[in-house]
Amino acid sequence: MKKWLFPALWLLSLAAAALPAFQAGRASAPVPAVGETFYAAVDQINGSSLAVTGLAVNDINHRGAFTFSVSEDTALEWRHAPIALSELEPGDTVSVTYTGGVRESCPAGIDGVVRVQLLDDEK
């Protein structure tokens, strides 16, 4: 038997024995609440409130008209860089991530919007 084969097999068996413990630790780690994300076109901006229409690529629940407020805790981004609300314009394509509920009204109201990301290539 080659001299390197025994240490290699020993290391391999040690790694195989540690794998279940590693996986168990990974499975029990808390997963942060990310929320739901959908894509929309900006229809109107009124102060800190936005009215958007969900795009056809979304699931059926995110294709209608929505309104939501942008707070100081809402991340506004373009290409992962912060932007101001004033940089958004009607017609822009955005992704909206929220952790709150959706009020069944017309248009539907979204609570807990945590991120609005501008998806257009040019700004």
CATH number for 62? 2.40.50.140
Query: What is the rounded CA–CA span in Å between residue 63 and residue 48?
Result: 22
Fill in the amino acid letter for 40: A
Which domain does 92 fall in, by range?
36-118
pTM here is 0.71
pLDDT, tens only, 46-99: 999 999 999 999 999 999 999 999 999 999 999 989 999 999 999 999 999 999
Q: What percent of the chain has pLDDT above 70?
A: 72
Query: Pseudo-torsion of CA 83, 71, 96, 121, nearest 10°?
Result: -10
In a domain, residue 4? The reply is no
pLDDT digits (tens, 9 = 90+) for 40-61: 999 999 999 999 999 999 999 9
Domain count, the chain: 1
